[in-house]
């Protein structure tokens, strides 16, 4: 790790999410429920990145996300990599796997759908990047979704 | 026993469709029974629909059940802001089965997930109307003696008409050939044509509606072309009388051909056709009673065998 990247302190144990498209940083934080965590969290964005222009970066100490939690990111940043840190070393890189079902994350874009008219969780079936509402069966593209 | 619901037609198997048709046939032989004696059926119509409600309530009454419910949502607590879930749970305390019509899409599916009693979908917005589809299938079977290898012509509003979409999906098991006859603005949507392609269903599209086009039909499924569906009113004026069926157009029809229509009809079938032997739409609506008797029994766990060996028949 060079000095430039040390703008943000290294962590001993936890998860580092690098190369987040800058404007998606807060959505990633929201989807991972970082606001509910008790451990130290660093959120940064608008860092210069050769690949992305500007990138976001999130470091979460003493937290290892479950596959289910990580899969929530598929609707916002499907190509992101999570680095698992133990004793200052990256011991594992986890990618986002798009789940076959998504519950309570994405809004249905059909205003006449029951999920937009009743206090309830949305539920989508996912196939080939298309979300199909479990209730009204309207389809939407996974890249064009609105979060709940 | 798992709770049975009747919410969608799309996932019914070929066997299940034929099973339901056979059960409806039994009810046509003997519609009056006491199979549901002691049961209470609730009909919750969050959107008014007199025809569908009367058909369901008649089916319940002819099977010996008693009926509670509302025909007009203005009288319910929904207007006070009660959730659908609360209404459904409350009524589940009283009734053995709930028939519901709602203007919100997916409402019946959601109700079936929260209710401890079976839910029968009597229409949820533009989404599904599976009991209509069941009676359409029964009418086709009854008039043709089979569901296999039929030429089915769908005419009129194929874009918004949920009955034609449901029928198209339910018929996938039976090797149909579809002909979609509609103005461009109301043509069969791409997603359903894709569905046909994926399931190996043959189809042709026509914008012309004349004697020759429909000469090969076994079933002519008419729907209403509604003015409010058009963004361009000039277009509406141009096509509004093109998709009107009259006796002249029926001259070359096959002898077995029957005309179906989900009703209400406005002007898309001339009144002179009512006396034509091909007309079947009024009988079709009557078949709704037998189809709905079968739906009630199925969701309440009464099997075809029990219906066949029923000792409660009132002659």
Tell me the per-residue pLDDT of B49-80, one tens digit each, with 9 for 90 and over.
Answer: 888 999 999 999 999 999 999 998 777 766 67
Into which CATH architecture does domain A101-144 fall? Answer: Roll (2.30)
Mean pLDDT of chain B: 94
Cβ of B83 within 8 Å of Cβ of A134? The answer is no
Domain ranges of chain B: 14-128+288-308, 131-284
A3-95: CATH topology is Alpha-Beta Plaits (3.30.70)
pLDDT at A50: 86
- Decide if B238 is catalytic: no
Q: What are the CB-based long-range contacts (under 8 Å, 24+) for B97-100?
A: B97/B39, B97/B41, B97/B42, B97/B296, B97/B299, B97/B300, B98/B42, B98/B44, B99/B41, B99/B42, B99/B43, B99/B44, B99/B56, B99/B69, B100/B43, B100/B44, B100/B45, B100/B46
- How many Å apart are CA A135 and CA B111, to the nearest integer? 10
Q: Which residues of A touch B85 (CB under 8 A)?
A: 118, 120
Cβ of A113 within 8 Å of Cβ of B104? The answer is yes
Facing B105 at nearest CB: one of A114, A119, A120: A114
Into which CATH architecture does domain B14-128+288-308 fall? Answer: 3-Layer(aba) Sandwich (3.40)
Say what the ipTM of the complex is: 0.88
Query: CATH number for the B131-284 domain, one of 3.40.50.1370, 1.10.260.40, 2.40.37.10, 3.30.200.20?
Result: 3.40.50.1370
Q: pLDDT by residue (tens digit) across B151-184?
A: 999 999 999 888 999 999 999 999 999 999 999 8
pLDDT at A140: 93
Q: pLDDT by residue (tens digit) across A89-121?
A: 999 999 898 899 999 999 999 999 999 999 999
Residue B130 has pLDDT above 90, yes or no: yes
Cβ of B105 within 8 Å of Cβ of A119? The answer is no
Domain ranges of chain A: 3-95, 101-144
pLDDT at B78: 66
Please give the average per-residue pLDDT across B203-224, as a whole number.
Answer: 96
pLDDT-derived band at A3, boundaries 50, 70, 90: low
């Amino acid at each position: 790790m060079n000095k430039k990247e040390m703008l943000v302190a290294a962590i001993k144990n936890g998860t580092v999410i690098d190369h987040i498209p800058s404007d998606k940083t807060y959505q990633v934080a929201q989807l991972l429920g970082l606001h509910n965590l008790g451990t130290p969290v660093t959120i940064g964005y608008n860092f210069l990145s050769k690949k992305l222009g500007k990138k976001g970066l999130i470091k979460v100490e003493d937290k290892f996300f479950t596959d289910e939690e990580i899969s929530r990111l598929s609707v916002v940043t499907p190509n992101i990599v999570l680095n698992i840190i133990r004793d200052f070393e990256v011991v594992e890189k986890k990618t986002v796997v798009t789940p076959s079902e998504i519950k309570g994350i994405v809004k249905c874009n059909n205003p006449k759908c029951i999920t937009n008219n009743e206090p309830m969780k949305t539920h989508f079936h996912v196939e080939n990047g298309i979300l199909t509402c479990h209730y009204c069966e309207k389809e939407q593209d996974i890249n064009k979704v609105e979060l709940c | 026993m798992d709770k049975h619901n009747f919410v969608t037609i799309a996932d019914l198997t070929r066997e299940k469709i034929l099973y339901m048709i056979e059960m409806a046939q039994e009810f046509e032989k003997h519609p009056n029974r006491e199979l549901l004696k002691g049961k209470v059926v609730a009909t919750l119509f969050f959107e008014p629909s007199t025809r569908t409600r009367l058909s369901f309530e008649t089916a319940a009454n002819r099977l010996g059940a008693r009926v509670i419910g509302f025909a007009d949502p203005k009288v319910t607590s929904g207007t006070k802001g009660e959730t659908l879930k609360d209404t459904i749970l409350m009524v589940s305390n009283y009734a053995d089965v709930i028939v519901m019509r709602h203007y919100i899409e997916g409402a019946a599916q959601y109700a079936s997930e929260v209710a401890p009693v079976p839910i029968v979908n009597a229409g949820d917005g533009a989404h599904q109307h599976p009991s209509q589809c069941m009676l359409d299938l029964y009418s086709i079977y009854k008039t043709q003696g089979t569901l296999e290898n039929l030429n089915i012509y769908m005419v009129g509003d194929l874009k918004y008409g949920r009955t034609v979409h449901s029928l198209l999906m339910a018929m996938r098991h039976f090797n149909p050939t579809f002909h979609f006859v509609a103005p461009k603005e109301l043509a069969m949507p791409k997603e359903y044509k894709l569905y046909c392609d994926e399931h190996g269903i043959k189809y042709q599209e026509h914008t012309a509606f004349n004697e020759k086009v429909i000469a090969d039909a076994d079933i002519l499924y008419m729907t209403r072309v509604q003015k409010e569906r058009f963004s361009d009113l000039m277009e509406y004026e141009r096509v509004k009388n093109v998709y009107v069926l009259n006796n002249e157009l029926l001259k070359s029809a096959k002898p077995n051909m029957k005309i179906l229509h989900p009703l209400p009809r406005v002007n898309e079938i001339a009144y002179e056709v009512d006396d034509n032997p091909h007309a079947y739409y009024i009988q079709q609506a009557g078949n709704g009673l037998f189809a709905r008797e079968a739906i009630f029994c199925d969701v309440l766990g009464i099997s075809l065998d029990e219906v066949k060996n029923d000792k409660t028949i009132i002659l």
